[in-house]
Amino acid sequence: MTPQAALLDDLATLLGKGGLLTEADDMERYRVDWPGHHGAEPLAVARPSTTRQVANVVGYCHRHDIPLVPQGGHSGLVGGALPDADHPELVVSLERMAAIRHVDPINFTMSVDGGCILQSVKDAAEAADCDFPLSLGAQGSCQIGGNVSTNAGGLNVLRYGMMRQLVLGLEVVLPDGRIYNGMKALHKNNTGYDLKQLFIGAEGTLGIVTGAVLKLFPRPQVSRTALLACPNVDAVLELYALARRSCCDLLTAFELVPRTCLELAMEAAPDLRDPLDAPAPVYVLMEVAASGPLDLDAMIETLFERGFEAGALTDGVLAASETQARNLWHIREAMLEGQRNRGEHLRTDVSIPISSLSAFHQRASEEIQSLCPQATIIAYGHIGDGNLHFNILPPPGLGADERSTLLHELEERLFEIVDDFDGSISAEHGIGRFKQSAFMEMLSEPEYDIMRGLKHLLDPRGLMSPGRILPRPAE
Ligand SMILES: Cc1cc2nc3c(=O)[nH]c(=O)nc-3n(C[C@H](O)[C@H](O)[C@H](O)COP(=O)(O)OP(=O)(O)OC[C@H]3O[C@@H](n4cnc5c(N)ncnc54)[C@H](O)[C@@H]3O)c2cc1C
């Protein structure tokens, strides 16, 4: 038996029937992510069904120097979960660990497996008359372990915070195979360093998240969704400040949707209709929700009045039913599909202090257009969190190399502007592999030393998701 065959044999024994995939055809779907990027063929795909099995596999890899990469629902956008080409890796997929362990509607908590699909978590919360507020386009496929590891944000950060604010406890298999059990359902716990925070947003580089205790909220009983037309981004920000003040802290989402995005959405979903009579340069898709019987219509009407008076608003529609609200939110989902249909493009995820967003938007748009007048800028996003997806569609007809060089050049310029505004090159998607060189350029020496030190402390052999966030030490 070759050493590799012996190794696969050992792993198959550790994982039991159906726990290890080794055939190329079976492994194909673990090499592709949502945007369509392809990773290399992995050494094998491990599909553990218990935390103990994850620990056994990781411990085995630690003893035999086998690099590995955890995988959730493949919806990450920075290539972190894709198997590496230069150093064959074992993919550890959590797809068979998808149980809701316990829902506690009095403590407002839920304990789940790391492989639980976000939508199942939301459904289980709703069944207990609670709400788990993390909401994003990939919620039908992304897993809690992936959400934790990318510190996912989404549509409701404005009111509920990012994943970091929604996790009370974690269970993590460490790179040497030991299990860190921090599954306490405590709302307050000030005992020493808050270890769980280390693993949130670590993109699988410090361990595999096998369980999480999540914070729940009362289920919203009433909500209102509106699409508002604005003359420009400045007006959107003025409206945002008005909405924060007029809506009694009940604002759950405030999304910027430029006209180009609405058009992309209608292109991808031909049944979608333009909700307003006349086109506007930019729109806001907003939602207000409350867990008690409040008069949200009165609140929104006041906002409309103030918005019109200030000239920040030119038109708007308030959804009159749940179906109408769903149709408005459908615009937000379909515009992502519309972008994906346009092929390879620059996808960014920057954040800027909210008060500087308009100046950033204007400068970035002007500079990108002057570098490439035929490019199409699509800048949309969670504007209530200062988070813009400043994406760029290249002109059609470019060859693959030419397109890739152009997108790289545009990204560099954009990130320099982000830096000038003291912003961040990743508000929520993370660094993975695709953003690593830009990240390294912006990292100060103390920041690098702390991060490298933490990585070395937990993963001295560098086997856990090597080359993600930080480069491999020898590189
Ligand atoms: C249509 C769409 C909309 C999106 N919208 C948003 C949005 O609004 N806000 C936002 O923040 N993000 C958004 N995302 C990206 C977001 O990061 C992911 O959807 C999600 O958080 C990743 O979860 P996943 O299970 O798919 O992880 P994967 O893609 O499988 O993995 C992502 C990273 O996490 C690591 N990982 C996965 N599981 C584990 C685990 N159990 N333990 C340790 N590491 C693990 C992987 O190694 C990889 O580095 C969107 C993506 C899509 C496709």
Question: pLDDT tens-digit profile of 68-123?
Answer: 999 999 999 999 999 998 889 999 999 999 999 999 999 999 999 999 999 999 99
Expressed in angstroms, the distance from the first to the final Cα of the chain is 33
Q: What is the mean pLDDT of residues 58-63?
A: 98
Residue nearest to atom 11 of ligand 1 (CA): 152
- Which residues, including other chains, have CB under 8 Å from residue 188's CB and lie 6 or more apart? none
pLDDT of res. 362: 96
Residue nearest to atom 46 of ligand 1 (CA): 81
- Tell whether ligand 1 has an atom less than 6 A from the beta carbon of residue 466: no
The pTM (predicted TM-score) of the whole model is 0.94
Nearest ligand 1 atom, CA 152: 11
Q: What is the mean pLDDT of residues 403-418?
A: 95
Would the CA dihedral through 444, 445, 447, 451 be positive or negative? Answer: positive
377 Cα to the center of ligand 1, angstroms:
24
452 Cα to the center of ligand 1, angstroms:
23
- Tell whether ligand 1 has an atom less than 6 A from the beta carbon of residue 152: yes
Residue nearest to atom 50 of ligand 1 (CA): 138
Question: Does 475 have pLDDT greater than 60?
Answer: no
Of 263, 279, 232, 220, the residue nearest 383 (C-alpha): 232
- Tell whether ligand 1 has an atom less than 6 A from the beta carbon of residue 169: no
β 167-173/179-182 pair status: antiparallel
Q: CA torsion 75→347→351→386, rounded to 10°?
A: -80
Taking only the tens place, the pLDDT of each residue in 373-396 is 999 999 999 988 999 999 999 998
Residue nearest to atom 49 of ligand 1 (CA): 80
249 Cα to the center of ligand 1, angstroms:
28
197 Cα to the center of ligand 1, angstroms:
17
- Under the banding of pLDDT at 50, 70 and 90, the label for residue 405 is very high
318 Cα to the center of ligand 1, angstroms:
32
114 Cα to the center of ligand 1, angstroms:
12
Of 69, 463, 196, the residue nearest 455 (C-alpha): 463
Pocket test for ligand 1, best of 77, 118, 142 (most atoms within 8 A of CB): 142
- Tell whether ligand 1 has an atom less than 6 A from the beta carbon of residue 79: no
Pocket test for ligand 1, best of 95, 120, 134, 136 (most atoms within 8 A of CB): 136
pLDDT of res. 213: 98
pLDDT of res. 439: 96
Nearest ligand 1 atom, CA 33: 29
Helical (H) or strand (E) element with 230 = strand 222-230
Question: Does 217 have pLDDT greater than 60?
Answer: yes
The whole-angstrom separation of Cα 387 and Cα 134 is 16
CB burial class (10 A; 0-12, 13-18, 19+) of residue 256? buried
- Tell whether ligand 1 has an atom less than 6 A from the beta carbon of residue 389: no
Residue nearest to atom 15 of ligand 1 (CA): 76
Say which range, 103-112, 192-201, 227-236, 337-346, has the weakest mean pLDDT. Answer: 337-346
pLDDT of res. 87: 85
Give the percent of the chain with pLDDT over 90: 90
Q: DSSP readout, 159-202?
A: HH--HHHHEEEEEEE-TTS-EEEE----S---SSS-THHHHTTS
Category of 18 on φ-ψ map: left (φ > 0), alpha (ψ -120 to 50) or beta: left
47 Cα to the center of ligand 1, angstroms:
18
Residue nearest to atom 9 of ligand 1 (CA): 154
Q: What is the mean pLDDT of residues 187-201?
A: 97
Question: Does 149 have pLDDT greater than 70?
Answer: yes
pLDDT of res. 419: 95
Question: Does 23 have pLDDT greater than 70?
Answer: yes
The Cα diameter of the chain in Å comes to 79
140 Cα to the center of ligand 1, angstroms:
12
Report phi then psi at 91, rounded to 5. Answer: -80, 130
Vertex 226 angle, CA 379 and 377, to 5°:
10
Of 205, 183, 187, the residue nearest 195 (C-alpha): 183
Pocket test for ligand 1, best of 121, 149, 170 (most atoms within 8 A of CB): 149
Beta strands of 247-386 (E only): which ranges?
A: 251-258, 282-290, 315-318, 350-351, 376-380
Taking only the tens place, the pLDDT of each residue in 237-250 is 999 999 998 888 89
pLDDT of res. 402: 93
151 Cα to the center of ligand 1, angstroms:
8
